[in-house]
């Protein structure tokens, strides 16, 4: 039995080393853009310091409000959030009156009216963030054939999986910030392609893009483009962090409640386990073994 366990552990170590070497080889291949199929993203996103990370993390309401401002003034020109209702913005610390005023900045289609025709009206808190385009075909036609994705769940849909050995630690300390890390890296990762690398006309080089070395979306934001009222830095890096945090909230608005519930469940299970152990000792204390 001891030999069997030793053999299994040896195989696991060898497999891990082989996997690590393969990952390193893939990364090197992606960097060089030559000799085989490149692997994307070319650069892996760097892990950022998020307030909502970890089992006791929570959202920074100020950051979320700044992220909403970035989305409303920049991202909403191309990207919808069809699954997010305006009324949920109360979770960012806004009052009911503020939510109504914010929703009124948008127009949504309603109807039909008494004449059987559709019409536009100002949005109300029960409406969802509308799309800037009437349909996907119009969105694609306006963006070089690539329809901008909806942002409702983008922070949960665009995470990059981590390889060996990080995924081993993720089993015990879950890494759930891959989406925001990826969005931040993408927004801050635009630069000129390195020498010898060509990108298709109408695309823009970004080594953090998960599907290719370049994407149709040009760099969407620049320094001082959005004015902050709280004195936060008006830089691309800060804009990217704020809108990434906001999109994480949009995808998982109940994250804080889920973490609190999970913590209480773990405390209950620990107490319950202790009570079971004490009960077992009490029942079998006077029994002969």
Q: What is the mean pLDDT of residues 131-141?
A: 91
pLDDT of residue 159: 74
pLDDT of residue 13: 43
User: Angle at CA 222, nearest 5°, toward 85 and 226?
Assistant: 50
pLDDT of residue 29: 42
Strands 214-215 and 204-205, bridge-based pairing: antiparallel
The dihedral through the CA atoms of 147, 239, 104, 61 has a sign that is positive
Give yes or no for residue 252 having a pLDDT over 70.
yes
Please tell me the distance from the alpha carbon of residue 212 to that of residue 96, in angstroms, as a whole number.
43
* Residue of higher predicted confidence among 283 and 252: 252
* Residue of higher predicted confidence among 160 and 136: 136
SS3 81: strand
Q: What is the mean pLDDT of residues 4-13?
A: 48
SS3 146: coil
Q: Which residues pair with 107 in a beta bridge?
A: 122
**Sequence-distant (≥ 6) Cβ neighbours of residue 222 within 8 angstroms:** 236
Q: What is the mean pLDDT of residues 125-143?
A: 92
The dihedral region occupied by 36, where left means phi > 0, alpha psi between -120 and 50, and beta the remainder, is left
289 falls in which pLDDT band (50, 70, 90)?
A: low
List C-alpha distances in Å: 29 to 75, 143, 198, 207, 212: 33, 31, 16, 13, 14
Give the range with max mean pLDDT: 25-29, 238-242, 262-266.
238-242
Relative orientation angle of helices 61-73 and 236-251, to the nearest 10 degrees: 100
pLDDT of residue 196: 85
pLDDT of residue 118: 87
The CB density around residue 19, as the number of other CB atoms within 10 Å, is 14
Mean pLDDT taken over the chain: 86
pTM across the whole model? 0.82
pLDDT of residue 6: 53
């Amino acid at each position: 039995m001891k030999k069997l366990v030793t053999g299994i552990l040896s195989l696991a170590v060898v497999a891990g080393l082989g996997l690590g070497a393969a990952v390193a080889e893939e990364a090197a291949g992606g960097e060089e853009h030559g000799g085989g199929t490149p692997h994307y993203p070319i650069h892996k996103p760097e892990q950022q310091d998020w307030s909502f990370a970890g089992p006791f993390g929570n959202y920074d309401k100020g950051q979320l409000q700044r992220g909403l401002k970035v989305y409303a003034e920049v991202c909403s020109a191309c990207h919808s959030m069809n699954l997010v209702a305006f009324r949920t913005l109360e979770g960012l610390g806004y009052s009911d009156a503020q939510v109504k005023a914010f929703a009124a900045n948008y127009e949504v289609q309603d109807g039909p009216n008494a004449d059987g025709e559709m019409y536009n009206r100002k949005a109300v808190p029960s409406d969802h963030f509308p799309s800037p385009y009437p349909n996907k075909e119009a969105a694609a036609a306006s963006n070089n054939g690539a329809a901008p994705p909806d942002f409702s769940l983008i922070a949960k849909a665009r995470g990059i999986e981590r390889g060996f050995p990080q995924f081993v630690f993720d089993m015990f300390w879950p890494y759930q910030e891959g989406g925001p890390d990826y969005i931040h890296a993408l927004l801050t990762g635009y630069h000129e392609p390195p020498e010898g690398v060509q990108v298709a006309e109408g695309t823009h080089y970004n080594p953090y893009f998960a599907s290719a070395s370049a994407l149709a979306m040009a760099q969407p934001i620049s320094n001082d483009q959005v004015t902050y009222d709280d004195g936060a830095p008006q830089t691309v890096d800060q804009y990217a962090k704020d809108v990434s945090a906001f999109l994480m909230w949009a995808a998982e608005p109940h994250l804080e409640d889920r973490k609190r519930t999970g913590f209480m469940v773990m405390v209950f299970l620990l107490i319950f386990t202790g009570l079971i152990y004490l009960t077992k000792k009490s029942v079998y204390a006077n029994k002969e073994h």
